[in-house]
Amino acid sequence: MKKLLGAVGIMLVLVMVLTGCAGKDPAQTAAPSKSDTAGADAPGQTGDGRTDIVIGMAGEPVSVEPQSAYDAAGSKVVCNVYDGLVDVDDDNNIIANLAKDWDISDDGLVYTFHLRDDIRFHNGDPLTAEDFVYSIEKAIELGYGEETTGVIDHVEATGEHTLDVTLKHPYKPMMQNFAHSKYLYVVNSKLAKEAGDNFAINPVGAGTGPYKFVSWTSGVNVKLEANEDYHRGAPAIKEATFKFIPEQSSGAIALETGDVDVYTDLSFVDVPKLMEKDDIQVDVTLGRYAYYLCMNQTKEMFQDIRVRQALAYSINMDEFILAVLNGIGGTKTGNVVFPDTFGYAEGYPPFEQNVEEAKRLLAEAGYPDGISFTILATDGLRKVSAETLQGMMAKSGIDVKIDLLDFSAMVDKQVTDQHDVIIMNSSAPIEDADSELTDKIMSGKWGNFSRYANPVVDDLMVQARMELDDAKRADLYAQIQEILRTELPIVPMYYAHVASGANANLKGFRAWGSTYIFLRGMSW
């Protein structure tokens, strides 16, 4: 079964590479929602098919607590176990979820949510507003979702099922954040407090979502089971296993042999072959995250704009995408803001390789004999990417070393500033420039691993957050993007395409452009 979904640009490239493969109009770049069940049997209808599923994915979660699951693997699990206040429909309109209705104060500062009084956690405890208070305060404390939580001043339970969320200032996209951000999902506060640090790896009974957490076997899998009392209908798939297969080639083989029913992180090297198989469906779409080169500006060398520019001019992104992504896994860019995002500013084309200019800039910066630094990487895509950059940059007199680590060790080095350069990818919960820029460029934010600090940019970001007029907001984001192009704190590389594969008999499957995968809409 051949299936190709994605943005028009992806389809054009794939048509050239995969002559004869059918295409469909996906409109698949919208932010994900739990209401998306297009193409699936209605939840709860199992027919005569299987009721279990095995999902292979390239990573192992760092956490399965929504407030600390900052990674892609953790996100795939938590979006099935937990729920938020509101959701969106297929047209990205806000709809009720755990909150049955809500009010927003005239000054745009206080959001009052009236919760359903019939929701219970997986262990049977009733959901109350205090659970949301705990969950949102925990998200603020941990800071992983700063682009979402940074605008919140405080939360308060004003009744057993009434929640007030007060903002520091008006913020136009806030309802979209409530709908899309995993960091604002609710957990059972009683269980979380009792479990302490262990909660992030064993949150049994703590969710309200369509699936219950069962177990996590380190290095092997995470297991879930259906929540038959889910308030939006019991899922058709009753047992779900997330299997960790870090090598993408091994994931493709597991899909071919039937060891997994879905592999979420296909290498684009394997996509053409898999698309020729009648018993496999492959879905390709534009991802909701961008890759960029992050240079640690606590290091003296990278404080010089000419050095950062030299790195940008040393990369041939066409060759990079061909070598690393088989020519079809990414779209090169000069901007980390997505073209379909509110606040995107045109006029920033990708950098083109210019070795002589890179050498000239390095010499002008005081490095006539070149420079040397280390790129942190993990096995898989980051390793291949680092090796490809290593070869390209050598032409400019740049000696790149690679420090190969497991994911947790790499993050530890990033957080403690023990890195020179990293190849970052960053997703955004909503399609808004604020969401896509905050964590990357604002001073002191958790994800700002370039350690870029520009008070002017910080001030413009705050102004844009507070502005309710769309035209004025767009102008502020345009100013910010102009500064980023001039100062180049990070080097934009490419918008990622996402390829996932599944058993051809699985209904409701698709590749989500985000890091999520929603099982409730799937059936056999």
Question: Once rounded to an integer, what is the mean pLDDT over residues 223-248?
Answer: 97
Higher pLDDT, 332 or 5: 332
Reported confidence tier of residue 35, pLDDT bands at 50, 70, 90: low
Q: Outline where DSSP puts E strands in 270-321.
A: 280-295
Q: Give me the helix-helix angle, 470-487 and 433-441, nearest 10°.
A: 40
Percentage of the residues of the chain whose pLDDT score is greater than 70:
90
Of the segments 37-51, 151-165, 330-344, 424-438, which one has the largest average pLDDT value?
151-165
pLDDT tens digits, one per residue of 80-104: 999 999 999 988 899 999 999 999 9
Residue 4 reports pLDDT greater than 70 = no
Contacting residues for 107 by C-beta, under 8 A, at least 6 apart: 170
Longest dimension (CA), the chain: 71
Residue 75 reports pLDDT greater than 60 = yes
pLDDT tens digits, one per residue of 148-163: 898 999 999 999 999 9
Closest of 172, 170, 424 to residue 290, by C-alpha: 424
pLDDT of residue 22: 31
Of the segments 16-20, 44-48, 450-454, which one has the largest average pLDDT value?
450-454
**pTM, whole model, 2 decimals?**
0.79
Q: In whole angstroms, how far apart are CA 424 and each of 50, 77, 296?
A: 39, 22, 12
pLDDT of residue 33: 52
As its CATH architecture, domain 289-495 has Roll (3.10)
Say how far apart CA 489 and CA 440 lie, in whole Å: 9
Residue 307 reports pLDDT greater than 90 = yes
Residue span(s) of the chain under CATH 3.90.76.10 come to 86-193
As its CATH architecture, domain 86-193 has Alpha-Beta Complex (3.90)
Residue span(s) of the chain under CATH 3.40.190.10 come to 8-81+207-286+498-503
pLDDT tens digits, one per residue of 114-140: 999 999 999 999 999 999 999 999 999
pLDDT of residue 381: 86
Question: Once rounded to an integer, what is the mean pLDDT over residues 280-305?
Answer: 94
CATH of 8-81+207-286+498-503, one of 3.10.105.10, 3.40.190.10, 3.40.630.30, 3.40.640.10: 3.40.190.10
Q: Which helix (H) or strand (E) holds 75?
A: helix 72-81
